[in-house]
Structure 1
């Protein structure tokens, strides 16, 4: 079947017959989620989006009413107290229980709720007879659950990780009927839904553990309590606690409503409430205490006892409006489950059936089942993409390309190392080796020795639409599938009917590109770095000297370039390069990733007048002093900001520049510059003998690119584009935003240089520049395109790098001014030489 036809709503309805909430979902999303128009947001497992009506109704509420401290007994305090109690009741009602069965303790989030249980549980250390409490958790658990062992190990409590298959398998052979009276308290933790794969674990495990019918409870006498981590589950699925009366249930409200983000809760069963103990007592938690003696009586109500200090009552009030919005838009959580599961199932079926032109599968899916039922699978897909040779494509590359299409996904291990190891078959020894290779949680090192360190996760929310699925599938087909796009029809049909499917057949296949020539690509979608040698520019004279063809400075970070012919060097690099930056109303640096119109601002450094000129179409030119006197700027002008993770001290450039920028960009913003009293040191890179000082650049003093490398990428772009307007050389050069452009002999020869001399100035190469979606911004118009990043990604087949970072080596004690001049000779030194 044709892939385009499979990506139709007609096919979706054949796979799943529940979509939307009885009305026009597109109209609802247009009204409630205007801010994400044009964005394909597929990271709802991290946080879902809040509807505009929730925020509007909430702010109307707190604008109309006077909410005081709920510990006060005045009218405003009573109003807050009563409203908070109403929210507690709504939370319990949502989970089909009453205040007589459960208590709601508000926390700062799900992790805080887990920490509360860990600190309050009556752990008993292991004795010489081997008795003591057990802390058990399913290996497919979030980091915040596994982290409880950090507390228990210090108290002499035995930790017992349990693999998912052990719960069922060992239960069948477990000896039961032990009549040993034992008061030791044990805790078993497991997720209602895996945040990694979306697998829903049986809620019946709750009663099974409590009754000691399941492993490990069946092998260890004592009282077994169950903590059911519901944070991932409750975002799109109902949870009836009458059927699974877990002792502790931590949740986060932003997973359900998108707002508020700093609030969670711990639901505690009445049978477990009395055994929780705490040592610290904050305001409002004591029924009585003496300051001069060790005398303390805890509050009788468990919520009062464990909510130290004043709860975040305005956030709790927002939860009330979250329930209202959810019910008004969707009609309830059961409808949400049907809608989101259908989108996930459809996407899973098509993605897992998608094949390269040679028949090899495109995706390695990480799931236990085949998405048969919303009772066993949530609205989460986890996978890695593969090239036509069966090699894993690193998740960072997928993430970077998704950004080009404005598709938001999540990559990595998702704070669930256990599931990541299990699905990706990473041994503990390999995890340690990955750490030694420099990989840590949250970084972009996606492959170590060709093996993945993480994966890609797509997750749906109640406002997700069929178009989100469609755009995502088209993105995968366009960027990662060797043409022609094929579908394993047999697997597709089996998945539709819920039966197992075989792997896609495959055979080796060369790729044809649009100019009619055929290039062997080792199974990859596009000509890669090795196969493109035949397309390299051979027109240049190999004996010609390398020269510095262009010099650019960028006085204001992320704004337009200013080309110069001769330019002085300062201690931070090119004089005045990235000396200023634009920040938003929260003093966060603006870049072209968020605000593309920055490139339309053209700052110029006018040395004779000692002024920085701000120019843009339709705006009057204004001037800002190039230098500031550290003795004259006031303390209220100094502010703290961050650049590339570094804290920097900056000085505000005044209201005139702020007003000019705000008018042009259409949002409140200000111009700030690096404080002359502050020194920012460069992070030590591989061959930098000394640590250099930096301006507001990202990573190094200079960024250099090779014109021959640009021309090679242009050739590859021409082989990929049939009917699209090709970008000229200057347009492509401007997108890479380099300081120095050289006329080199060979494309990408700069990757192998360790040092170079330009004119009479020496430089050290400190690394390659990793590229992101910002190179897609046309520096002349501010519009965004997918090139040249797509061609660069296809060529490099891994980390998308282009250009090298340089650090200057000026002679110590030299007073003579150093100047770089266009046309200067470039003398490189190879790494091996």
Structure 2
């Protein structure tokens, strides 16, 4: 029975669904009529007015030229009314710019305040029925040819299909290379059943589908009676629009696969699966036009409005091969409560009857009732979808085209590369709402172009409150395709410690990800110019600028330094302590520096300041001749009854310096070692007892323990500072950063930078000499009483410096990282570098390589050192690749 007060009219329109679900009094302003007539309305919503100036006509101007009595919907610049867009954008932080519409849209304000009293376990409420009707109207399924199954998202829908399909060795899974990882993950279920798997590109799929079809049924194994009971099937899965590049792929592929067959499978044996999560959120989709040849569609509603986080849909075509296969596995698949079963015995496994309805079979668990309740009123804002979604696509595509043209103008065609799928015919390449790009800069004496890492650009965008996406966007296939990465490159990057989502953005001169800016229904032209201004102010200078153009002065005192302070951090990511002397070990690092870490219990993951900012208030130092580790918590973090300080007797003297042989890899010999992170994951040993673990767990707010890191050294760089790296910064740089960031205390800046060695000029110079002092990231080497150190790479900074400064009470907006970018821009340097990572090397002399001995060397406070600096333009290409080819984040 329907709720009282609901007007029922047979008009099959999405706006009528609002009337059915809410009543006339709850209509949105533009749909507020006394009652919808039973015949189609004569008025249509006019999205925009005809432009006054002579400009190119967009499709939205051609399809929406009907008179509208409602002036609220008449907008010149956007297809949605200004009030809706303004309310959605008001949820952003002040000054923020949203450029990640491909990941999620902004939440729409609720158009309904009607109470919702239906119990969550009731699956046949009128509200859920209206929500399914609203979704059908939005996706263009007026014939009700599809089952609408609510899921938690597109990933959940794909996982349901992967688990429920009866895979067999005679079956196949064909996946497009640009498919999302959630689609590609189906291959594991297929491979586990010995089914075939094939990854295809646009060009290869086009060539195959254009051939004369000669399909033949694969031969089933003679000993597989169960498999012979049904014909084999092949699943063709591809995205309707790539979430990384914005390339749209034609529905024609599904039609031709159904008509001509796919490889050795006939058209009747082909199951077409389309991922429309990106397409349906920014373009019109009419399933009525594709019903005969599309078997399944997945969609995530949060990409249309963030109000629906945790709500998606799986649409399965009725009377299709996919429907019969899913129903055939219902008796042997997992079942739950609700209406998923018709009869079940708790004692006999033979007495079980699954539901005959596919929807109730697959909808397991409690759905997102509140989101389903608001779905009709929210989708009414996009009604009629054929007009509104076309206007949204034209609006977002115009902004994306503007951004692409301005980006190319700012960085020149050689300084930026826009990524698209080149395998589609030119007449089928539509305008995209996404701009995926890689920026390049000129480096080295040869003045060649080298990619700028996506992590560096992403950090700059984040500092300036720009919401964007960097990396591979969970689409490894599209990322590798557009960047030209092969399986050999992926394996080599993994062996060097690269993991998805880390800071290793350029390896061996090849980028590992890209930058994506996307636009949607709430984007404005001001967003385009704001993002361009950020990139131009912080990135474009490094394309043509070079450090060699800056005059650092020629005063002799600038090459002589004095050690101002020394710092050791025994536990990674924890605060350290100042010392008067440091000793270098056989690896070239500082003895006792970053030899311990806090590990999360039950995993190999180490805590960092990014994942656990409270570590900034935990200080560690070594006492009693470096045989005792002391941990002290800041007094503001101490809980009642909790000790503030813990001392751990290491019970060893391994930190005492000894004469040891130093094994250096030969320059002509390549060594294959585990990365530092992998080696530490396999070489950790717990330190302290249960009392220490409980104390650390109470500090971190999660089960953790203290571990000793492996002592072996890896020759492969990682994404963070390792224990064999020595971070060197300049006192003048710290002072410049302090004044630029507006921080009163120099100690706060020093703690945020977490250096090991702070150098100052040997002689007090003039202000001009102070301003022209060379930065440490062009540091080449320095010597002091037999100690020789060489630079390894520049230290790229991340948001950790802001975390430490915030823990010290200076919660400034993006500082001091924002000032680091400002200083580097003044110096015409690249990115967010500050300081240099170096290591001590033994004096080789005339001794053979294998007989070189390491004699422990020291560096004391106020000791004089002599340094030399390199010109970044005069650095040879070989030196650049060996010493500073990669710059990685310093996490602590």
Which interval holds the TM-score relative to the shorter structure? 0.5 to 0.7
Quick one: which of 429, 436, 460 aligns to 1:382?
Answer: 436
Contact 2:89 2:522 in 1 (8 A): no
1:67 deviates by 3.5
SS of residue paired to 1:228: strand
What is the CA–CA distance in structure 1 between the aligned matches of 2:729 and 2:295, rounded to whole Å?
63
Contact 1:122 1:185 in 2 (8 A): no
TM-score (norm. length: structure 2): 0.62
* Structure 1 residues without counterparts, runs of 5 or longer: 1-8, 71-76, 127-132, 483-522, 580-587, 604-609, 616-621, 631-644, 654-671, 690-696, 719-723, 758-762, 808-819
1:172 deviates by 3.0
1:410 deviates by 1.2
What is the CA–CA distance in structure 1 between the aligned matches of 2:741 and 2:193, rounded to whole Å?
67
Equivalent residue, structure 2, for 1:65: 116
What is the CA–CA distance in structure 2 between the aligned matches of 1:679 and 1:192, rounded to whole Å?
47
**Structure 1 residues 364 and 15: alpha-carbon distance in aligned structure 2, compared to 1, 3 A threshold:** farther
Q: How does 1:512-523 map to 2 (within 5 A)?
A: none
Quick one: which of 793, 799, 812 aligns to 1:782?
Answer: 812
Equivalent residue, structure 2, for 1:81: 125
Quick one: which of 197, 216, 219 aligns to 2:262?
Answer: 216
Equivalent residue, structure 1, for 2:363: 307
TM-score (norm. length: structure 1): 0.66
Contact 1:108 1:264 in 2 (8 A): yes
Contact 1:229 1:249 in 2 (8 A): yes
**Structure 1 residues 614 and 754: alpha-carbon distance in aligned structure 2, compared to 1, 3 A threshold:** farther
1:154 deviates by 1.8
Quick one: which of 722, 738, 750 aligns to 2:754?
Answer: 738
SS of residue paired to 2:522: coil
Quick one: which of 292, 316, 321 aligns to 2:372?
Answer: 316
**Structure 1 residues 563 and 416: alpha-carbon distance in aligned structure 2, compared to 1, 3 A threshold:** closer
* Structure 2 residues without counterparts, runs of 5 or longer: 1-50, 62-75, 220-229, 443-447, 582-590, 599-606, 620-631, 647-680, 687-691, 762-773, 841-857, 869-881, 884-892
Equivalent residue, structure 1, for 2:344: 289
**Structure 1 residues 749 and 224: alpha-carbon distance in aligned structure 2, compared to 1, 3 A threshold:** closer
Contact 1:612 1:624 in 2 (8 A): no
Contact 1:756 1:827 in 2 (8 A): yes
Contact 2:257 2:267 in 1 (8 A): no
The answer to whether 1:298 aligns with 2:339 is: no
SS of residue paired to 1:361: helix
Equivalent residue, structure 1, for 2:489: 430
SS of residue paired to 1:787: helix
Equivalent residue, structure 2, for 1:263: 311
Q: How does 1:55-454 map to 2 (within 5 A)?
A: 64-70=115-121, 77=122, 81-98=125-142, 100-126=144-170, 133-175=171-213, 183-212=231-260, 216=262, 220=266, 222-245=268-291, 246-272=294-320, 273-276=323-326, 277-278=328-329, 279-280=332-333, 281-284=335-338, 285-290=340-345, 291-324=347-380, 332-356=388-412, 361-368=414-421, 376-388=430-442, 389-454=448-513
SS of residue paired to 1:782: coil
**Structure 1 residues 676 and 341: alpha-carbon distance in aligned structure 2, compared to 1, 3 A threshold:** closer
1:65 deviates by 3.2
Equivalent residue, structure 2, for 1:481: 540
Contact 1:536 1:747 in 2 (8 A): no
What is the CA–CA distance in structure 2 between the aligned matches of 1:612 and 1:735, rounded to whole Å?
14
**Structure 1 residues 564 and 454: alpha-carbon distance in aligned structure 2, compared to 1, 3 A threshold:** closer
**Structure 1 residues 427 and 687: alpha-carbon distance in aligned structure 2, compared to 1, 3 A threshold:** closer
Contact 2:146 2:316 in 1 (8 A): yes
**Structure 1 residues 321 and 827: alpha-carbon distance in aligned structure 2, compared to 1, 3 A threshold:** farther
Equivalent residue, structure 2, for 1:512: none
Contact 1:167 1:216 in 2 (8 A): no
**Structure 1 residues 681 and 327: alpha-carbon distance in aligned structure 2, compared to 1, 3 A threshold:** farther
SS of residue paired to 2:241: coil
Q: How does 1:409-558 map to 2 (within 5 A)?
A: 409-482=468-541, 524-528=543-547, 531=548, 534-535=551-552, 538=555, 540=557, 542=559, 546-549=562-565
**Structure 1 residues 190 and 614: alpha-carbon distance in aligned structure 2, compared to 1, 3 A threshold:** closer
SS of residue paired to 2:135: helix
What is the CA–CA distance in structure 1 between the aligned matches of 2:711 and 2:832, rounded to whole Å?
18
The answer to whether 1:771 aligns with 2:792 is: no
Contact 1:137 1:146 in 2 (8 A): yes
**Structure 1 residues 326 and 38: alpha-carbon distance in aligned structure 2, compared to 1, 3 A threshold:** farther
Equivalent residue, structure 1, for 2:886: none
1:412 deviates by 1.6
**Structure 1 residues 408 and 677: alpha-carbon distance in aligned structure 2, compared to 1, 3 A threshold:** closer
1:206 deviates by 2.3
**Structure 1 residues 682 and 342: alpha-carbon distance in aligned structure 2, compared to 1, 3 A threshold:** farther
Contact 1:193 1:378 in 2 (8 A): no
Q: Deviations over 1:157-207 (max 9, x none)?
A: 111222211233333332359899994322111111011211111122222
Q: Deviations over 1:465-517 (max 9, x none)?
A: 111111112222223335xxxxxxxxxxxxxxxxxxxxxxxxxxxxxxxxxxx
**Structure 1 residues 481 and 295: alpha-carbon distance in aligned structure 2, compared to 1, 3 A threshold:** same
Quick one: which of 90, 93, 100 aligns to 1:33?
Answer: 90
1:450 deviates by 0.7
What is the CA–CA distance in structure 1 between the aligned matches of 2:386 and 2:635, rounded to whole Å?
53
1:688 deviates by 10
The answer to whether 1:802 aligns with 2:835 is: yes
What is the CA–CA distance in structure 2 between the aligned matches of 1:41 and 1:800, rounded to whole Å?
26
